[in-house]
Amino acid sequence: MELLKKCPICGSVNTNLFLTANDYFLSGETFSIVKCSGCGFRYTNPRPEAEALGKYYQSADYISHSDSRQGLFASVYQLVRKYTLNWKKALIRKYNHKGDLLDIGCATGQFLHFMTAEGWNTTGIEPDEKTRKHAISEYGLKVFPEETLDEFKESSFDVITMWHVLEHVAELNPRMEQLKKLLKPGGTVIIAVPNCDSYDAVKYGQFWAGYDLPRHLYHFTKTDVDRLAGKYGFTIVNTLPMKFDSYYVSLLSEKYLKGKMNWMPAFWNGFWSNVLAGRKRGYSSQIYVLKMR
């Protein structure tokens, strides 16, 4: 296990235990989340060594690495993912109409395939070899291993997206440096992450699926993203909700809490999470649009 000695955002060496929870998805192992005494940022500590993290993704049920439509849950997930492709396209077009797009953590490549058809010159990064090969063979995409990020030329991309990826990145600050280096002048970075201040996060506590230990190494609030972005010269120009996520995460949380999918309680808690989001809690997952200052 690797022990982080200081906060990735403010550098403070002082923390308090925030929460202890199991890996309810796969291993059953127990992990801890600490809260920085300096800035309040929450992160998984200690965590598996970087070379050991891969085994915590090795499951056919890891849905972001799958195009499966088997079962009601997977079918609903795929329908929602199809709907959000158009929504993501519309969001990007508010800031950049065409050009070079880099999707970090592109998984099976559905988003990149869609944006390629819309006229974008697309490139993907996907750490998982099997998933990366699927994206290449299925859609003919340009998808590379994670280490390729260091080989791209400076100012290469008009838009860089990370859809539920930043919370997985082993080295947070070097990744922000990469984003700054690779973005063209006037470009846009779009980051989507779970929000551990949301109603559903508080409601489910240690069973909240948004913690997803140990795959999620960091647990963000809007304040955390703002501070991290500011360190590297970015500013948040827009914050948007991912309203479907409250239902999806609540459904998984019900499974972790009670051992089965409880659709009605999950729907109810997801609904209230969205209703109460405007009262300073924020949504279950949020999108942050970043521009250089």
In a domain, 36, yes or no: no
State the average pLDDT for the chain: 93
Instruction: Write down the pLDDT at residue 75.
Output: 60
Instruction: Write down the pLDDT at residue 133.
Output: 96
Low-confidence ranges of the chain (pLDDT < 50): 63, 65-66
In a domain, 15, yes or no: no
Tell me how many helices (H) and strands (E) the chain has: 8, 11
Is pTM beyond 0.85? Reply is yes
Residue reference for tokens 């996907």: 126
Print the domain residue range for 279: 56-292
Q: Which residues lie closer than 8 Å to 266 by C-beta, 6 or more apart?
A: 247, 250, 251, 253, 254
In a domain, 37, yes or no: no
Instruction: Write down the pLDDT at residue 72.
Output: 55
Separation between Cα atoms, residue 122 and residue 292, nearest integer Å = 21
Q: Could you read off the pLDDT of 191-203 as tens digits, one per residue?
A: 999 999 999 999 9
In a domain, 67, yes or no: yes
H helices of 164-285, where? 172-182, 199-204, 222-231, 243-258, 263-275
Tokens at residue 177, please?
């440096």
Q: Could you read off the pLDDT of 37-48 as tens digits, one per residue?
A: 999 999 999 999
How many CA within 13 A on the CB side of residue 163? 26
Total domains in the chain come to 1
Residue 227 CB coordination number (10 Å): 15
In a domain, 11, yes or no: no
Contact 56, 23 (CB under 8 A): yes
Instruction: Write down the pLDDT at residue 63.
Output: 46
In a domain, 236, yes or no: yes
In a domain, 260, yes or no: yes
In a domain, 51, yes or no: no
Tokens at residue 191, please?
């980051």
Q: What is the CATH number of the domain that holds 74?
A: 3.40.50.150
Q: Output 119-128 pairs: Cβ under 8 A, ≥24 positions apart.
A: 120/159, 123/157, 125/149, 127/54, 128/54, 128/57, 128/65
Contact 106, 112 (CB under 8 A): yes
